[in-house]
Amino acid sequence: MTRVREIDDPGDDPILTELYEKEQEAFGFVLNTTRVMAQRPGILRAAKQLGAAIDRSGLLPKDLVALVNLRVALINGCPF
């Protein structure tokens, strides 16, 4: 099965460097989805901004967001 190569090192890309540092600080590692989406740094940044905007909107209670994330992960067979 063909897989998209993960980008482990941000190199000299300023977008990747910023995002990798933020995730390293927040989680202690860079998320797999970030390393895959790093193939296209501009799209990765836009996706992160969209997620942050949805989070800041306050349309869903924080507890419900956590449950939705868990449910989506389970549906997709991903560890959460």
The model's pTM is 0.75
d(C-alpha 52, C-alpha 64), whole Å:
16
Take residue 78 and report the two structure tokens written for it.
Answer: 């991903």
Helix H segments across the chain? 14-27, 32-37, 41-57, 62-75
Q: Structural domain boundaries of the chain?
A: 14-75
Quick one: pLDDT at residue 40?
A: 96
Cα 79 from Cα 56, distance rounded (Å):
25
- The reported pLDDT for the residue numbered 17 is 96
Span 16-52, pLDDT tens digits: 999 999 999 999 999 999 999 999 999 999 999 998 9
In tens, the pLDDT along 53-71 reads: 988 898 888 889 889 889 9
Q: What does the pLDDT read at residue 37?
A: 95
* Per-residue pLDDT, 3: 81
Q: How far apart are CA 55 and CA 41, in angstroms?
A: 21
